[in-house]
Structure 1
């Protein structure tokens, strides 16, 4: 763009965006306004600022297209009752003796099959409240289980965050999902352990907390578990063909280079037909698109703010700081994920900011694109659920928690995310 902005201006722009979000300004506008102010005080004139903002927003269009495609699968899984059926089946199969595990695992699976993490928590929350009331569990324990399981599922799902980090480092989304699987299992284990230790600490849950967590739009009769699993199974199988072919050297599988933009809607439609709900295709896809609108707008705002950071010397300053501390530069990926997701209180926004601002620098340290994507996304789950984001409030409301009660969940959520970050970093950056 012909101008390098000062690092402190980029930080001021980022800080302004956070303050405006806390003041309840629309997140997209807050991100864009922060980017504009940062550019202007950083040394760019008005035409240069426009170019930086436009270029930053354009850089996320590939992600936006794939996120819109993922909305078809998300809409079908949520509106058809398939996600709810999967959750209820998991909890029923494992029973009350493994109640904490079953709730965390159910949220993980619901998220992993393409349902957004806040929606996954909302789907499982009524079941958790019913089970928790019978077993006298605390709200704290239940939300740690649900949120921790959701975080584990989120890094192995075709959700906006995985789509964004895969697009940011130009790797297949399936590669990110596969290589995040072991860290996700560790995250699930820590979530279950923490929730088990906390099950009688804090305010006990009761049926009175069920209030607004039930979903009035849930179909009167849920589809069978077999039909409910068709869409996610088709999506996963088709997404895995190319990566497996590349690993095994199988020519025809390697040649299957069909993007998630095609696979996710196709899987959704096949699943819808398997459930005998083909007549609802327009209704469910519209619902999925509606749920994606806010996500897409935030991604565009994140792209604009990413343009500010990319055109500043902030990445260079952070690299210098890392070198001064003696930390290996290969750890820039998870560090950037942690910092950017915390700033935006969003996993997907965090990985967009991290990959756009630090992507080339991270790869310059010799880190492979897949390792960078996996570790950055894991890092973005550490402190992404802060109060200036929607996830904090949506999940707190699902358990009828006060602000103080919801704040107590944050350290345990961070431990789950940190576990996945450490495991992924050891696997892909150390060895």
Structure 2
């Protein structure tokens, strides 16, 4: 690509706006992003050849993230298809009992999201259990939804899921570092989830008998693995991912010398876990299921890489820095707000984080924000408004909880408070206190 080519900032913004509008109009997100990149490049003065070079450059820039997302698919496939996630959810709810029902449901969703299960799938797994508990304890569907969604959001920012991988690789930091950095914001999000769900547990409709008909609750239709074997996959993954950070913290050279990337760790943990559950013969099926769930994310990564290259090839990052400096607003706020706005536009945490890192990382780092702090703030910003109605998560959770769209919409504000708590905590910790 011609290194002297600089696309006009307004053209890059137009391209991003075209992509977002097309996504809102329900065009396939990948084509929306590619068309936005093409429009922005051509409007900004690039010719057809230069535009193609920008798209190729952008797609190449995300290949490292693509490989790690595909690796995460293996772990997700094992946890979801083997019943390991079901076992974890059932165990947590059963151990804590009905008196701590909301805590149990939120914690169960947090844990199984944190070990690599997609948040919509986590809600689908725990929803039948939640409806059963909700009927017994007279807890409203709205409170149950907030417990599950809030717990899932808390787990999502400390998980080896595509959104965390995108945040890490978008700022060239280790996946484990982002997971650790977001741990305290996740705990605050969990606490707010439990508080809100308890406050509104009589608000909204109650669980009815017909809501419990034909439930395919976790564990009812298949033999689940034992808790010990179900824990092998996440424990192996977490231990191996933490070797490097622990080595750096405690100055243990032999630990830091391993250099274990998520690309190696996640599939290895998945294989070990499948063997521990005596499901080695199912590995091919688990891998197939995991890859199929990652396909959409990988394609979106390619599209987001293209629109990101259009923006970074423009003078938009420099203009953003100048504008924020003139307005005397802290440039630190660009990190969480970019994550929030892009996730709101796409109604997806993963897509939002991918867009924010690809489009605004240069500007964010231009304010002197450290890469890890930037990754943590963008990532937590991505869970604030990812539940809007133009995305799949809104509808998946509505169906899981047997709610109509009006009732499901009532949960958006409460979910916003949960995600906003995590974002504010991360911004204060890493943006202003520089912890």
Aligned to 1:76: 78
Report how far residue 109 of structure 1 moved.
0.2
In structure 2, the CA distance between the partners of 1:91 and 1:39, relative to structure 1 (3 Å rule), is same
Contact map agreement 2:86 2:219 (CA 8 A) in 1: no
Is 2:7 aligned against 1:5? Answer: yes
Q: Distance in 1 between matches of 2:242 and 2:281?
A: 29
Identify the range of structure 1 (375-384 vs 227-236) with the bigger mean alpha-carbon deviation.
375-384
Q: Distance in 1 between matches of 2:22 and 2:217?
A: 31
Contact map agreement 1:79 1:218 (CA 8 A) in 2: no
Q: Distance in 1 between matches of 2:419 and 2:327?
A: 23
Q: Distance in 1 between matches of 2:211 and 2:122?
A: 18
In structure 2, the CA distance between the partners of 1:325 and 1:197, relative to structure 1 (3 Å rule), is farther
Q: Distance in 1 between matches of 2:215 and 2:61?
A: 37
In structure 2, the CA distance between the partners of 1:213 and 1:8, relative to structure 1 (3 Å rule), is farther
Aligned to 2:320: 318
Aligned to 1:127: 129
Aligned to 1:371: 373
TM-score with structure 2 setting the length: 0.95
In structure 2, the CA distance between the partners of 1:101 and 1:215, relative to structure 1 (3 Å rule), is closer
Report how far residue 13 of structure 1 moved.
2.4
In structure 2, the CA distance between the partners of 1:283 and 1:198, relative to structure 1 (3 Å rule), is same
Report how far residue 322 of structure 1 moved.
2.5
In structure 2, the CA distance between the partners of 1:320 and 1:401, relative to structure 1 (3 Å rule), is farther
Aligned to 1:280: 282
Aligned to 1:230: 232
Contact map agreement 1:160 1:348 (CA 8 A) in 2: yes
Q: Which runs of 5+ in 2 are unaligned?
A: none
Is 2:83 aligned against 1:100? Answer: no
Q: Distance in 1 between matches of 2:182 and 2:253?
A: 25
Contact map agreement 1:126 1:213 (CA 8 A) in 2: yes
Equivalent pairs counted in the alignment come to 431
Report how far residue 223 of structure 1 moved.
0.5
Q: Secondary structure at the match of 2:414?
A: helix
Deviations 1:161-195 (A, max 9, x none): 11111111111111111111111000000111111
Aligned to 1:51: 53
Q: Secondary structure at the match of 1:327?
A: coil
Q: Secondary structure at the match of 2:259?
A: coil
Contact map agreement 1:6 1:314 (CA 8 A) in 2: yes
Is 2:414 aligned against 1:412? Answer: yes
Aligned to 2:337: 335
Q: Distance in 2 between matches of 1:317 and 1:340?
A: 19
Contact map agreement 2:189 2:419 (CA 8 A) in 1: yes
1:7-406 equivalent positions in 2, closer than 5 A? 7-210=9-212, 214=216, 220-406=222-408
Q: Distance in 2 between matches of 1:420 and 1:212?
A: 36
Contact map agreement 1:18 1:388 (CA 8 A) in 2: no
Deviations 1:236-262 (A, max 9, x none): 000000110011100100101011101
Contact map agreement 2:129 2:217 (CA 8 A) in 1: no
Contact map agreement 2:304 2:358 (CA 8 A) in 1: no
Contact map agreement 1:71 1:289 (CA 8 A) in 2: yes
Contact map agreement 1:329 1:365 (CA 8 A) in 2: yes
Q: Secondary structure at the match of 1:418?
A: helix
Contact map agreement 1:76 1:268 (CA 8 A) in 2: yes
Q: Secondary structure at the match of 1:357?
A: helix
In structure 2, the CA distance between the partners of 1:114 and 1:331, relative to structure 1 (3 Å rule), is same
Q: Which runs of 5+ in 1 are unaligned?
A: none
Q: Distance in 2 between matches of 1:169 and 1:275?
A: 36
Report how far residue 282 of structure 1 moved.
0.6
Q: CA RMSD in A?
A: 1.8
